[in-house]
Amino acid sequence: MDPIILASGSIRRHEYFKTLHLPFSIMVPGIVETNDKNLTPPELARDLAERKINAILKNLVNRIPPWICAADTLISLDGEVIGKSKSRTEAKETLLRLAGREHEVITAIALFNGKEHKTDCRTDTSIVQFAPLSEAEIEWYLDTCEWQGSAGAYKVQGLAACFIERITGSYSSIVGIPVRELYLMLRDNGYEYS
């Protein structure tokens, strides 16, 4: 199997690649995640995933790897992207907004095929229903510091699972990589598992 460059520092994404027995190396693209083009949340997720691929290609200068995979996960509430909270106060405001409501978790996954010099990019959207939350529950969660570095100020795979009433869609996508979509992309683009 050809090695894949995984353009991500996400431990969860690394774990999924290991689970799938995919040979990979890690390169963190280090892009600035902005929405200068005023894109919709799904468009922005795709744009960021593709920008990560392009950043890796630029860093490799004249070397074209066989495969690069990048992903971007973001949270959308009422069409607004909810990013990573910069402070405890901001995280509390985010959790208050999410409490008792549904929001979308959108993950875009991009796969660069070096043999054909093309990038396939797809999105997966899941719905997360939060339970109503008391201020005491929010303060307890904030005290864990689990909100730090997480879009929407929570980690579905952590203690925030206590607050989630329902998920419609792909759990792996919410964590950071839609495994079914990744498998289909590799298959559709001629990746050989043997």
For 70-102, the pLDDT digits (tens) are 999 999 999 999 989 999 999 999 999 999 999
What is the pLDDT at residue 129?
98
Domain positions in the chain are 4-188
Q: What region does 162 belong to: left with phi over 0, alpha with psi -120 to 50, or beta?
A: alpha
Cα distance between residue 31 and residue 75, in whole Å: 18
pLDDT-based confidence at residue 36 (cuts at 50, 70, 90) = confident
**Top-tier CATH class for 4-188:** alpha beta
State CA 161 to chain mean position distance: 17
What is the pLDDT at residue 33?
80
pLDDT-based confidence at residue 62 (cuts at 50, 70, 90) = confident
| Residue 193 reports pLDDT greater than 80 | no
| Residue 10 reports pLDDT greater than 70 | yes
Q: Which of 72, 124, 143, 188 is catalytic?
A: 72
Q: Is 120 a catalytic residue?
A: no
What is the pLDDT at residue 66?
95
146 and 94 in contact (C-beta within 8 Å)?
Answer: no
Cα distance between residue 123 and residue 174, in whole Å: 12
What is the pLDDT at residue 152?
94
Percent over 70 (pLDDT), the chain = 99
Averaged pLDDT, 125-149: 97
Q: Report DSSP state, residue 131.
A: P
pLDDT-based confidence at residue 32 (cuts at 50, 70, 90) = confident
**Worst-scoring range by mean pLDDT, 8-17, 31-40, 102-111?**
31-40
| Nearest Cα to Cα of residue 120 among 41, 37, 190, 19 | 190
Averaged pLDDT, 109-125: 96
What is the pLDDT at residue 104?
97
What is the pLDDT at residue 194?
64
| Residue 1 reports pLDDT greater than 90 | no
